[in-house]
Amino acid sequence: MLRVGLTGGIGSGKSAVAARLVERGAVLIDADRVAREVVAPGTDGLAEIVAAFSDAVLDVDGALDRAALGAVVFADETARRRLEAITHPRVRARTAELAAAAAPDAIVVNDVPLLVEVGLAPTYHLVVVVQTAVSTRLERLARDRGMDRAEAERRIAAQADDARRRAAADVVLTNDGSLTALHDAVDVLWKRRLVPYEDNLRQRRVVPPDAAEMAEADASWPEQYARLAARIQHALGSDALRIDHIGSTAVPGLAAQNVIDVQVAVSSLADADGPLADRLAGAGFPRVPGQWWDDPRPAGRGRWEKRLHGSADPARPVRLHVRMADSPGWRYALLMRDHLRADPDQRAAYLLLKRDLVDAAPEAGDSGTARNPWFDEEYLRAEQWAAQTGWRP
């Protein structure tokens, strides 16, 4: 199933987005509701909290007095961690139960206010952030919750700021206008991205890059790579010996296909053919059918075998190259990237070559450049640069 993390600052309108997604057909798991459920009267969670902090944290009805508990843990790091050790495992377990109960083709939306703050972004296929101007949020908190300005400002300041949320976001929904405009944006997201993403994920289908498209350099490519790499690392753990951003989108200022190239180093390609491939597919990076290899540099040295995965996300094409660590193909991808980063003249020459070849054969896209003789010359230049500078991968 497709797992979507939904977050946003207090007063941003995140609940309105969640409600609209449910109307479209999503299964919603509300983290705040789950957190209350696991410490409700009669639960083991509440009993353990009382054992840790005394019955002074209970109200007259025997329920958890959140204000009293907050006063205990707010300024005491040890107490806060003790509380988290009680509640967090229960919240995770209950969330997993609710997700497991959803249909195999469900789009499961986890509404998590502190998703960014607690580092949960890599656990989802997609993260949606609702962003609203602070002034608008302050007005809404006063109007809808009767919150005075000082308290509203304190709560906003206690959460991640907009820049930090944007860095974790695959999708940013701006909610500074009308509810109708917000609903329209959610509907477009549902139809054009979430529904096809779920179908591709379930079918293990890769979204092919648009070979004819040549995009100007995008300063957000490294940030997009970082989100992808975090998901890959979460899925593979220690089996991914190293993850790198490679290819044209890893070279600042270089125009390229709007495709993020990622290199994953493994101990052997045999490892890439078993559970590792399944884990990548489950994380949204299905295997591309067929046999794949790189053209060696210089030519005539045999094929450099690899495994190739792509992306199930219709809005973010990816080429994920799985190569054996320290192999020639793995080293070459890093050398080429770093030399182009360091040498503006060769970067400019490469850009001209790419544009000429794509104009001549647009159906080949970026891949048409790989067999050009220029690459053999660039390989020799890069090796000379590596020797002069002491470069290591």
Convert the pLDDT of each residue in 226-239 to its tens digit: 999 999 999 999 99
Of 162, 155, 170, nearest to 121 by C-alpha is 170
Write down the pLDDT at residue 13. Answer: 87
To the nearest whole number, what is the mean pLDDT of the chain? 90
Q: Are 129 and 168 in contact (CB under 8 A)?
A: yes
Q: What percent of the chain has pLDDT over 90?
A: 66
Range of weakest confidence among 18-27, 84-93, 158-167, 383-392: 158-167
User: Highest mean pLDDT: which of 185-189, 205-209, 358-362, 363-367?
Assistant: 185-189
CB count, 10 Å around CB of 167? 15
Output the pTM of the full model: 0.89
Is the backbone of residue 276 left (phi > 0), alpha (psi -120 to 50) or beta?
alpha
DSSP letter for each residue of 256-312: B-S-EEEEEEES-TTGGGTHHHHHHHHTT-PBPSS-EEE--SSSSS--EEEEEE---
Query: Is residue 363 over pLDDT 60?
Result: no
